[in-house]
Amino acid sequence: MRRLPQSPRPPVPQSSTDAGKQQTATIRPVTFKDIEALYALDQVCFPPGIAYSRGELRRFLGIATAVGVLADRDGTLAGFAIGYLTRRRTAHVVTLDVGSGERRRGLGKALLEELLERLARAGAVEARLEVSTENTGAIAFYERLAFRVRRPLPGYYGPGRDALEMERKISP
């Protein structure tokens, strides 16, 4: 198993509109001890059929090239991202979860950038992900981060539940 170097990521600042509510979030690597908290947040962030089971999260994190990062704000899981490096040097983003009270504060961007940075250092030259066609907010978010639609994925999440595969170039 190839170990990926850790990079010190500065804390994610709080939004000026939330001054006094919460302090900065710290981004750190995911461990298997985090599974229950990851599972709980994933169940809130995604509907049934799209949300992952505990076993699926463990399986993704068990991939030899897997990377998981999470944001901890005052001892509480604020968000996380999981991905892995494929044999074709593609960073596959499995999931990006941000708690509802943490959205639109830069946390999702910080988590995704940290994940892609770590996968780029491991050899990734591009990144791919899947997103529900119904999740227009996430599609717009990824487009702002230079992702472009690669292809539609009809029925990806089950009958009548389509997705888009999106991609972007990355560099170490």
Tokens for 164, please give them.
């888009």
Q: What is the pLDDT of residue 171?
A: 80
Q: What is the pLDDT of residue 11?
A: 46
Q: Which domains does the chain have, with CATH numbers?
A: 23-169 (3.40.630.30)
Q: What is the pLDDT of residue 172?
A: 66
Under 8 Å between Cβ of 78 and 72: yes
Q: What is the pLDDT of residue 164?
A: 97
The per-residue pLDDT for range 106-122, each reduced to its tens digit, is 999 999 999 999 999 99
Q: Which amino acid is at 45?
A: C
129 CB-contact burial (10 Å; exposed 0-12 / middle 13-18 / buried 19+):
buried
Q: What is the pLDDT of residue 15?
A: 41
Q: Which residues of the chain have pLDDT under 70?
A: 1-23, 172
Average pLDDT score over the chain: 87
- What's the pTM value of the predicted model, to 2 decimals? 0.85
d(CA 143, CA 22): 28
51 CB-contact burial (10 Å; exposed 0-12 / middle 13-18 / buried 19+):
middle
Q: Which amino acid is at 167?
A: E
Q: What is the pLDDT of residue 5?
A: 37
Q: What is the pLDDT of residue 55?
A: 96
d(CA 81, CA 68): 6
Per-residue DSSP letters for 35-98?
HHHHHHHHHHHS-TTTSPPHHHHHHHHHSTTEEEEEEEETTEEEEEEEEEE-TTSEEEEEEEEE
Q: What is the pLDDT of residue 13?
A: 43
Q: What is the pLDDT of residue 131?
A: 96
